[in-house]
Structure 1
């Protein structure tokens, strides 16, 4: 949750979810970007914000598995 403040000004956060049943503590983040270049620019800009590197340093050891997917919204999606 602390990481959101570093990226909330870009307004791309759509949702964050985690499980407490089934596979425990699996976390899902959904981010919406105009295009792949915007995604790259926003992600790179986070590294220039004071405190982001420290947050990543302490978070990475908690990650056991990570997967990223690029999804394209349907034409009827409000995320167009």
Structure 2
């Protein structure tokens, strides 16, 4: 199972800081999260989603030791 870590607003909307998931690709993970947590699904398209520290496409496989970080847009000055 892949380890998913949520940060800032994504953590708040997911209701947790991290979890493990069984989806096999990043696209499957995005679709499942959108269906299960509509609030998170609302910001997910604007989030940087990193698989093993890199931006990838939805075809990227998620293995048992994969770490996925969900980072919403951050404002700052």
TM-score w.r.t. structure 2 length? 0.30
Q: Bigger radius of gyration, 1 or 2?
A: 1
Q: Which has the higher strand share?
A: 2
Q: Which has the higher contact order (CA 8 A, sep 6+)?
A: 2
